[in-house]
Amino acid sequence: MRCQPLRRALGILEGALSDIILTILASVTASSVASAVIVWLSKTWITERVKSSIKHEYDLKLESYKAKVEIEKTAAIENIKSALKDSTFKRELRFSMLHGKRSEVISDLHAHLQDTIMFLRHYYDASCSHGDFDKLNESTLKLSNFLRVNRLFLPDDIEVKVDDLCDKILDSSQLEKDINFDVEDEIKPLFSAIKKEMKKLLDDDI
């Protein structure tokens, strides 16, 4: 009879211990789960933070690179434009200078021809017995030398006509023999060609 209370007490104690153990185990399990969750959340958060930081840094570098490329591209385009403008300006300047030089040469050629034709007319003047050939020869030599230096600026047809005229005049024996030499017939086509070329140059300037 005395053992029954003891057994009952031991039973109660065992039950209490079991509850305590279960509670402890539950607490440990819950704590482990919570710890695992916390660790997982921490890792996830850190990973996302790292990814976000890397992405942010990458975006900044990408934007910086794009801006640098855009600046370099703009600079390259401006350099090309500047070079093209410079090239165009130089080409236009050369053309303008060449155009001006051609006008000057044709104008000077006309003046030289006027002098030579004047002496040629005097030479064939009916009132003279073959005028001063020396002056005619000197004027023709000047015309011929002028042509030699400035051929580059003259049209081919004018160059050929002036050459032929100079050759005929400088051949004194031919001049003396050719009593039918018609000055006007010789110079009209030449002056007509010069006038046409000068008019063409003036029209280009308009």
pLDDT of residue 74 exceeding 80, the answer is yes
pLDDT-derived band of residue 206, with 50, 70 and 90 as boundaries?
very low
> Can you give the pTM of this predicted structure?
0.50
CB-based contact 50:58 (threshold 8 Å): no
Question: Alpha-carbon distance 130 to 123, whole Å?
Answer: 5
Q: Max Cα separation, the chain?
A: 187
Residue 48 neighbours by CB under 8 Å, 6+ apart: none
Domain total for the chain?
1
How confident is the model over 98-124, as a mean pLDDT? 83
CB atoms under 10 Å from CB of 150, counted, come to 17
User: Does residue 88 fall inside a structural domain?
Assistant: no
Domain that holds residue 169: 98-205
How confident is the model over 149-170, as a mean pLDDT? 84
pLDDT tens digits, one per residue of 16-67: 666 666 666 556 565 666 666 676 776 777 777 777 778 878 888 888 888 8
Q: Which two tokens stand for residue 117?
A: 């034709």
